[in-house]
Structure 1
Amino acid sequence: MTIREAKALLVSYSFPLDKVVLAFIILFLGIALFDTEQVPESIRFLLASLGFIFPFLVLSVVIAGGAKATGLDQQIATVFAGHARKMIVAAAIFGGLSPFCSCTVIPLIAGLLQAGVPLAPVMAFWISSPLMDPEMFILLSAVLGIEFTIVKTIAAIVLGLGAGFTTHALVQRGLFTNPLREEAVTGYSGCSPSTRSNKKIVWAFWKDDERRDSFIAESKTTGWFLFKWLTLAFLIESLMVAYIPPEFVGNYLGANSEWWLIPTAAAVGVPAYLNGYAAIPMVGGLVDMGMSLPGALTFMVAGGVSSLPASMAVFVLVRRNLFVWYLILGFVGSILSGFGYLIYLQFVG
């Protein structure tokens, strides 16, 4: 066999490697290369963490698949019908409770704007939706507790309301008249019909072959997505536990830190945030090492709204002034959430 034939054979059997899986492999090989003694510790930590989260992961997958199979995820169009202020309130609440995550909200937003839905309620949904969904609620409750999870849910809805009403005021003053870029209008035009559809909800989806297949497909997709990100995050958390001194976290991100803890957490959250699911075990590890809960909330809100991957997608979607406004809403909103939680804990505690 010649070299050229060997190359052709390799190409014929090659397949695209998932970037998250590739990152996990590279990180694990790096641990094995530079700190061999850490390998068994990381493996034990990874297996124990996955074992703990597994029941919650299964429940999350079932909810995601059920939302798709029943047609519940197609009911978003009904939220954006009515008076502007009522639309903002409904969109913020729906966003904070909806099954849409940050990976699906961008094309959905493009479809809504292209379909002519007003910017203000779209922005309310846009800000609140990536911060909480049913799967995240379950996983976050398991790691950081039900109180923190409820606080984050409330923060998502309140930030959505604030974003919607402030955007509405700016639109009335003539800003953001054409929110989408020209190329985005063309590129995302195919999204609008599906986001405006209003299919009937069928709760007994298992009786319909097509809906049952949809449930299975969505469960597989969601399960793999959550599993790979959580596995990578738990591996990173094992390194955080091994290499980051608890006193460092306590001194700079802990409950006894100065007021600048919350703005710092917001600034760090944007570049360091992977996604909502990967952040859960990472932030859980930081909290165990002494990070304050208001700082944790600030980090997760800032990263959830305006992480680098999400910001890059938004940048190519909307015009520059709206992109800057989106970043301001995410950064300022996360800081206000952190201070609000801090004040709440001071009164309660």
Structure 2
Amino acid sequence: MESVAPTLIELGRELVKEFLYILPYLAAGVLLEAVIRTFRWHVKIRHALTRFGTWSIVVATLLGVISPLCACATLPLVISLMLAGLPLAPAMSLLVTSPLMSPASYSMLSGMLGIGWASTVTVCAVLLGLFAGLVTHLLRDRGFREDELFRKALPQGDFHDPDYPVEELRCECGKQLSHRVNRCTHNKFLVFLARFWEGSLKIGRFALIGMVIEVLAEFFIPNQWLTALLAGEGVMPILAITFATIPLHLPQVTAASMIFGFFLPDPGQTIPLANGPGIAMLVGGPVTALPVMGIFLSMFKKRVFFLYLALCISGTLTLAFAWRWLGG
């Protein structure tokens, strides 16, 4: 019992030190996302997607990169757009890029792993979004037309309606603090403060989960194991990380936080993060979000789910091996 207390104190000290280090980047990213959500810029662009024609894949990819919404929040909105006429190809691009990058993700990746890694993940998100959209577009006439996607016809109605019959798609945003503040006051500044608070709780929670995992791993897992996995230059680390993260719910901020303490000289032990494993973790982990795959299985025909999974895995592996080759 005497040896447990010092260990817990040391764990807590490391956790606080790392959290304070990333706090300014967390605040900057959440601030930008709060501005975007307050003025609903991403919503205005998203509703215009159905009018962009063949350019919708590019627009959806770029929208996914700047959107503050995670994959779980994006999927119901994408389905509503598909019911309004959006083809599967741009919908797939949006779904793939949304979990990979956002203003908060870029800010926190810059703070935790450096601007180089933040920019690399952004480029990977764009490439993966374009790849997913293009492949889906080429397969459109092979069982992926708009009338061949859903397991059953979805009832008409507004997903924001609390009485919408499909529970998986029913939006709970009306219960959020920012929406209650907007209904009561219609004051943009107060809505912004509420958005900032919501974003701080959501993103801070994901960051804290990743740092707790990293601190525990640093204390209890032999360092050489982690070094072999994150700094390994062979094929196996890339394959191991890519397939190990498929069943995990691993948001971008959580994935970066898990690497953070090992990567930076201060405040963790330095592990030179290799290009391939880094991409496998930061791209492959977030893009195969388990809740999203669950909705895919329940809402869409199986071939749509397997297409999404195949695009995510093949895209991640291609990017990881390409970055490993480019990085020497």
Task: Give the TM-score range, shorter chain.
Answer: 0.7 to 0.9
Runs of 4 or more off by more than 6 Å in structure 1?
none
Question: What residue number does 2:309 align with?
Answer: 327
Deviations 1:71-122 (A, max 9, x none): 21222122342222x1111211221232222231121112111222111111
In angstroms, what is the RMSD of aligned CA positions? Answer: 2.6
| Cα separation, 1, equivalents of 2:157 and 2:3 | 45
1:52 equivalent in alignment to 2:28: no
Q: Which has the higher helix share?
A: 1
| Cα separation, 1, equivalents of 2:71 and 2:110 | 19
- Cα drift, residue 57 of structure 1: 1.3
Aligned in 2, Cα 1:175/1:72: closer, same or farther, shift over 3 Å? closer
Aligned in 2, Cα 1:340/1:191: closer, same or farther, shift over 3 Å? farther
TM-score, normalised via structure 2 length = 0.83
Matches within 5 A, 1:31-50: 35-50=4-19
| Cα contact 2:71–2:292 (8 A) shared by 1 | yes
Deviations 1:215-271 (A, max 9, x none): 122111111112222222222211111112221122344234x22221222111223
1:313 equivalent in alignment to 2:309: no
| Cα separation, 1, equivalents of 2:288 and 2:320 | 16
Matches within 5 A, 1:200-211: 209-211=186-188
TM-score, normalised via structure 1 length = 0.78
| Cα separation, 1, equivalents of 2:69 and 2:2 | 39
Structure label with greater radius of gyration: 1
Q: Which consecutive unaligned segments of at least 5 residues does structure 2 have?
A: 162-170, 172-181, 264-269
1:40 counterpart letter in structure 2: I
Question: What residue number does 2:267 align with?
Answer: none
| Cα contact 2:211–2:257 (8 A) shared by 1 | yes
| Cα separation, 2, equivalents of 1:228 and 1:123 | 27
Question: What residue number does 1:121 align with?
Answer: 90
Question: What residue number does 1:166 align with?
Answer: 135
| Cα contact 2:65–2:98 (8 A) shared by 1 | yes
Question: What residue number does 1:251 align with?
Answer: 228
1:83 equivalent in alignment to 2:60: no
Question: What residue number does 2:260 align with?
Answer: 284
- Cα drift, residue 306 of structure 1: 0.9
Aligned in 2, Cα 1:227/1:174: closer, same or farther, shift over 3 Å? closer
| Cα separation, 2, equivalents of 1:34 and 1:117 | 60
* Match 2:250 to one of 271, 274, 283: 274
| Cα separation, 1, equivalents of 2:320 and 2:31 | 32
| Cα contact 2:50–2:85 (8 A) shared by 1 | no
| Cα separation, 1, equivalents of 2:37 and 2:229 | 43
Deviations 1:162-187 (A, max 9, x none): 1111101111334354223327x239
Q: Which consecutive unaligned segments of at least 5 residues does structure 1 have?
A: 1-31, 196-204
Question: What residue number does 2:152 align with?
Answer: 182
| Cα contact 1:123–1:167 (8 A) shared by 2 | yes
Question: What residue number does 2:179 align with?
Answer: none
Instruction: Look up the SS of the partner of 1:160 in the other structure.
Output: helix
Instruction: Look up the SS of the partner of 2:235 in the other structure.
Output: coil
- Cα drift, residue 286 of structure 1: 4.8
Percent identical among aligned pairs is 24
